[in-house]
Structure 1
């Protein structure tokens, strides 16, 4: 604001006693932090571009070019503030992850009494009660009861998982309609949720600090510029040149050789590409991320909520031999029984029946048995709907043919639901997760763009993962992965020299997103932690924007290289002119500012709609 106020006064030919204080206040407010950081680096015997830019700004002010110095200060102060803000928000989201687990738990004492205690006070061996709709307070094993548990936050599975005695449950997951009695197996600080938080924090801290291209040579450039400036001041002075002329030559050199044009050569194309991507539904969090996206050589996709919508749908209706029903009647009756149910699978069946225009008959004696299914009576006939393990006998010869149908449905990655009519199996329904319509084309575009097939990383079972992979064209499938397993996969790919981008949406994906070179989150249903951890967010959940933004990043990189060549040429010519001859200060400033304008305008080409259109075309959209 101070810089803009000073600029307005200057453009209106206002008095210098008004514009200069505004500019100098801009120097102080925006420059003290990079100056302090530069001095601390200098104390450690390193010279970074922060101190160099502050010195250039002061040098510009000392010879009357206070506006140029103010522009340098604004660029660096804004960049540093945005980086600090992003870091702070990520740290806050990691701390907030631990709030997923409930604060209290109902512990059962040895005398059978119930007491409410802080979840952090639970120890291994304690038994806790988890009522319907509550969160599981600790990792443990079910010792009594049955229910279905939504554990998408940990494993990424799209559908609730039936839990019975002997099954493992995780802290922070949501219990369904039944009551569970759970024996604690891990302390709060050792739970899977706590490990996810630790993995995200560790990956964020150990992830190599990525830098823009110009920052990679800042140390040598900074030292060279300082040495050259001092030499231009001291050597002519030693030979008897007047102090004022020697100082003017040195300050002119500092102005023309300052990396202002180089900074603008790098930043405008990347920032313009960020703005362009934002208009098309991709939020890229920084210029560094935009540069990193173009270097991607392998993409890893999560399944649930990423390649799929995370919403179950009816995929198959099979009428078993001997049944008097046809598929429409079977669906109609099952939907009627499931209508009062709260289970997501039941909701999928009801949606499918309504989509076909089926009228649901009234039901009597509805009963839901957690972990076992539902039952009701229609026109006096008893109908049961549940899992194959509950309603079919694995060792029965009579059920052998029915198990073949169930196995065929499950082999395609579907969840099988068995229907009994008066205790006789009459049908099997297959339910699956909805694949995004653009998933196949996005996967193909990513493979063509990177030259390597994407990887599927999921916590779901192998059969379901393999089926989905076959539908979208992914050959490399890694299934049944916990969050730390996904990090291991990312590390393995990186060890092979790959620059990995991970695309996910759930809390269980956050550690992998943090460990990857670039983390991309699906914004529609993405968790807060995932959105904060990710480097880029697909706001509209359109997978085809991922290859497009990678292609856009590569186009921006080419513009950056061209800009650096332009800026470097101007700096070299003006600096040599100043060293070998006498470069008039106004001409030096004009050349310096001219190069800045040229590279700035060239970079702004990335704002044009045509830039995204070309990127989308090159990405196969």
Structure 2
């Protein structure tokens, strides 16, 4: 695999394009492999069909050796200098031995097929990386900077925080920032994998812009996403090197260093296996001392064993599958940080969920309006709107917003003198009369008589996880309102799908009241809910789950509950696009805020795990069958080469199937 390719993509800010030198190198390798094959078959035909002198066909084989062995020799020599002997060394040794015993056609065939396998391996890796490398092309090279009333085209590396850029219709957005003017639909597929453009609009308060991570996502845009049909003015909040797309490129470039458990095991296996093969081959060279055969026959058998025992397919079996899986996930807007996370996720049967913003919308919604004592509904909602619109409390803002949208009414400024009463609610004056909105304690302190039927309704709502507020006007109950952090629309269907693919336990961990957790768990189909949890309680819950189930995943926003997520086997961050903390801390980042991608990524991980196992069985199976057959003299070097290199090609093609994976 080409580390240089990834390094160039991750670090070239001025020109975020793939490393053409590395790509041309792979093309040259394939070209050399094909030339090796051409000279091999041409020489073979001349030797068999045409009465050319032996030297002519031998020259063809030697040229075939050169083209087939060039890149393999380069790689082997670099590793030998560092004191390492690997599969490339075994192949060069086998080809040299074949030449020594005058088996030039078999040696040339070996180098041709091995170099072709090498070239196909690199082709497979590059194909798997294609979607990742494409990230480097996302960012436009220039931006339209708005300066002193005029537009100036500048390089994106020259943009500074708080610059204002203009994004014209149907063009790429040049920086991460917040929209301060205009509304449009933005295609975020390159970053989040969302197939449908997302509506974006300007932020109301342009003078006091909060940090990028905390701005409502309907106001923010990302580098490389594509604007719709309207022009936008964007306030730059991140430099080019710190943009979401740059961070993605950097993180994916580091995937190679995070080996999967199977990769590490395979590497350890190779470390003792290759020297063992060399030792066996050396001993077989002297078999003629014990059995009645010539030295050349013993050497031929030893070289054939050398070919058969080389674990080429094993070496590529895991990395090709891991990279294909990670690339497929990237196409769908899911960042998986290395083979370890990919393999572990495929073994998960228990998932712990944070509640707020993960299973729920993360915003309280008005759920019930119940007028009482002959209060007209229209009068009741107007009263509530007038009073709640004067409060800065999050619940009050949610109530006022939802009343406006549901009843299509506006504030008439008839309420005054709003006063928050800590732990109870608020009081205000409406039409020269006192209004109280809050809990039972507030009603009791205001000497408001309670209706038992209404209290019963309130208790039912509380049991079902709603936050309930009583409303009193003119010293009597006017009604009640309730709010609730409602489940995501896709939560129930996603959890159902997770059950279908084998997730046995799905547990909510929340700091909210147990009633709230139980109510949401029942609505969406969780197996368990644990409420009233402090951050340290969530850590204890994760420890307990790990002891019971071995491996668990935790899904959250990557910001809250960081200790619990860090302790889990695999941490999964929701809506990670634009969130530095989520990208840094999570093992798996769902770039869009769509939990329905969860079954896909778990299914992909399991498919990757299956492909890895299949590849290992194929590669080891060929070695186990071929080595005894060659030691016993049941096969020749040509047949050993064909089986050996054929298994490598099968393994590569099997791994590439992951690039087309789709969950059912």
Normalised TM-score (structure 2) = 0.59
Q: Tell me, yes or no, if structure 1 residue 427 matches structure 2 residue 479.
A: yes
**Is 1:3–1:23's contact at 8 Å kept on the other side of the alignment?**
no
Q: CA deviation at 1:231?
A: 2.3
Helix, strand or coil: the match of 1:450?
Answer: coil
Q: CA deviation at 1:398?
A: 2.6
Partner of 2:150: none
Q: Tell me, yes or no, if structure 1 residue 272 matches structure 2 residue 321.
A: no
Partner of 1:410: 462
Helix, strand or coil: the match of 1:507?
Answer: coil
Partner of 1:261: 313
- After superposition, the Cα gap between the structure-2 partners of 1:219 and 1:25, relative to the gap in structure 1 and judged at 3 Å, is closer
- After superposition, the Cα gap between the structure-2 partners of 1:74 and 1:9, relative to the gap in structure 1 and judged at 3 Å, is closer
Partner of 1:596: 648
Partner of 1:505: 557
- After superposition, the Cα gap between the structure-2 partners of 1:525 and 1:355, relative to the gap in structure 1 and judged at 3 Å, is farther
Question: Equivalent of 1:466, from 515, 518, 523?
Answer: 518
What do residues 328-377 of structure 1 show as CA deviations (whole Å, max 9, x unaligned)?
A: 32222212332343332122212222222432242253535374655554
Q: Tell me, yes or no, if structure 1 residue 336 matches structure 2 residue 386.
A: yes
- After superposition, the Cα gap between the structure-2 partners of 1:221 and 1:282, relative to the gap in structure 1 and judged at 3 Å, is same
What do residues 241-272 of structure 1 show as CA deviations (whole Å, max 9, x unaligned)?
A: 99999888667645543333123333334433
**Is 2:387–2:418's contact at 8 Å kept on the other side of the alignment?**
no
Q: Tell me, yes or no, if structure 1 residue 367 matches structure 2 residue 367.
A: no
Q: CA deviation at 1:305?
A: 1.0
Q: CA deviation at 1:458?
A: 1.3
- After superposition, the Cα gap between the structure-2 partners of 1:254 and 1:399, relative to the gap in structure 1 and judged at 3 Å, is farther
Helix, strand or coil: the match of 1:392?
Answer: helix
Helix, strand or coil: the match of 2:529?
Answer: strand
Q: Tell me, yes or no, if structure 1 residue 287 matches structure 2 residue 339.
A: yes
Question: Using the alignment, how far apart are the partners of 1:4 and 1:237 within structure 2?
Answer: 44
Partner of 1:454: 506
Question: Equivalent of 1:8, from 24, 27, 30?
Answer: 27
Partner of 2:449: 398
Question: Using the alignment, how far apart are the partners of 1:529 and 1:249 within structure 2?
Answer: 59
Partner of 1:55: 86
- After superposition, the Cα gap between the structure-2 partners of 1:367 and 1:500, relative to the gap in structure 1 and judged at 3 Å, is same
Question: Using the alignment, how far apart are the partners of 2:76 and 2:482 within structure 1?
Answer: 67
| Within-5 A mapping of 1:19-418 | 54-61=85-92, 63=95, 67=115, 211-213=260-262, 215-216=264-265, 219=268, 222-237=271-286, 253-320=305-372, 322=373, 324-363=374-413, 364-367=415-418, 369=420, 371=422, 373-389=425-441, 391-393=442-444, 398-399=449-450, 401=452, 403-418=455-470
- After superposition, the Cα gap between the structure-2 partners of 1:337 and 1:253, relative to the gap in structure 1 and judged at 3 Å, is farther
- After superposition, the Cα gap between the structure-2 partners of 1:254 and 1:454, relative to the gap in structure 1 and judged at 3 Å, is same
Question: Using the alignment, how far apart are the partners of 1:377 and 1:392 within structure 2?
Answer: 16
What do residues 51-99 of structure 1 show as CA deviations (whole Å, max 9, x unaligned)?
A: 5xx5323444555759589779989x99xxxxxxxxxxxxxxxxxxxxx
Question: Using the alignment, how far apart are the partners of 2:295 and 2:521 within structure 1?
Answer: 74
- After superposition, the Cα gap between the structure-2 partners of 1:469 and 1:339, relative to the gap in structure 1 and judged at 3 Å, is same
- After superposition, the Cα gap between the structure-2 partners of 1:532 and 1:576, relative to the gap in structure 1 and judged at 3 Å, is same
Please, which runs of 5 or more residues in structure 1 have no aligned partner? Answer: 40-50, 79-173, 175-208, 617-621
Please, which runs of 5 or more residues in structure 2 have no aligned partner? Answer: 3-20, 36-62, 97-110, 127-213, 215-257
Question: Using the alignment, how far apart are the partners of 1:339 and 1:607 within structure 2?
Answer: 52
Q: CA deviation at 1:307?
A: 0.8
**Is 1:414–1:464's contact at 8 Å kept on the other side of the alignment?**
yes
- After superposition, the Cα gap between the structure-2 partners of 1:398 and 1:459, relative to the gap in structure 1 and judged at 3 Å, is same
Question: Using the alignment, how far apart are the partners of 2:459 and 2:498 within structure 1?
Answer: 34
Q: CA deviation at 1:469?
A: 1.0
Helix, strand or coil: the match of 2:285?
Answer: helix
Q: Tell me, yes or no, if structure 1 residue 537 matches structure 2 residue 586.
A: no
**Is 1:301–1:504's contact at 8 Å kept on the other side of the alignment?**
yes
- The alignment covers a number of residue pairs equal to 463
RMSD (CA atoms): 4.2
Partner of 1:146: none
- After superposition, the Cα gap between the structure-2 partners of 1:596 and 1:532, relative to the gap in structure 1 and judged at 3 Å, is same
**Is 1:311–1:433's contact at 8 Å kept on the other side of the alignment?**
yes
Helix, strand or coil: the match of 1:419?
Answer: strand
Partner of 1:576: 628
Question: Equivalent of 1:523, from 564, 569, 575?
Answer: 575
- Bigger drift between 550-559 and 410-419 goes to 550-559
Helix, strand or coil: the match of 2:496?
Answer: helix
Partner of 1:157: none
Question: Using the alignment, how far apart are the partners of 1:525 and 1:473 within structure 2?
Answer: 27
Partner of 1:81: none
Q: CA deviation at 1:326?
A: 2.4
**Is 2:288–2:294's contact at 8 Å kept on the other side of the alignment?**
no
What do residues 413-449 of structure 1 show as CA deviations (whole Å, max 9, x unaligned)?
A: 1222333324544222111102111211222232343
**Is 2:363–2:485's contact at 8 Å kept on the other side of the alignment?**
yes
Q: CA deviation at 1:273?
A: 3.3
**Is 1:229–1:250's contact at 8 Å kept on the other side of the alignment?**
no
- After superposition, the Cα gap between the structure-2 partners of 1:378 and 1:28, relative to the gap in structure 1 and judged at 3 Å, is farther
Normalised TM-score (structure 1) = 0.63
- After superposition, the Cα gap between the structure-2 partners of 1:392 and 1:246, relative to the gap in structure 1 and judged at 3 Å, is farther
Partner of 1:196: none
Q: Rg larger in 1 or in 2?
A: 2
**Is 2:508–2:529's contact at 8 Å kept on the other side of the alignment?**
yes
Q: CA deviation at 1:214?
A: 5.9
Partner of 2:222: none
Question: Using the alignment, how far apart are the partners of 1:552 and 1:69 within structure 2?
Answer: 26
| Within-5 A mapping of 1:608-619 | 608=660, 611-612=661-662, 615-616=663-664
Helix, strand or coil: the match of 1:455?
Answer: strand
Question: Using the alignment, how far apart are the partners of 2:24 and 2:68 within structure 1?
Answer: 8
**Is 1:283–1:538's contact at 8 Å kept on the other side of the alignment?**
yes
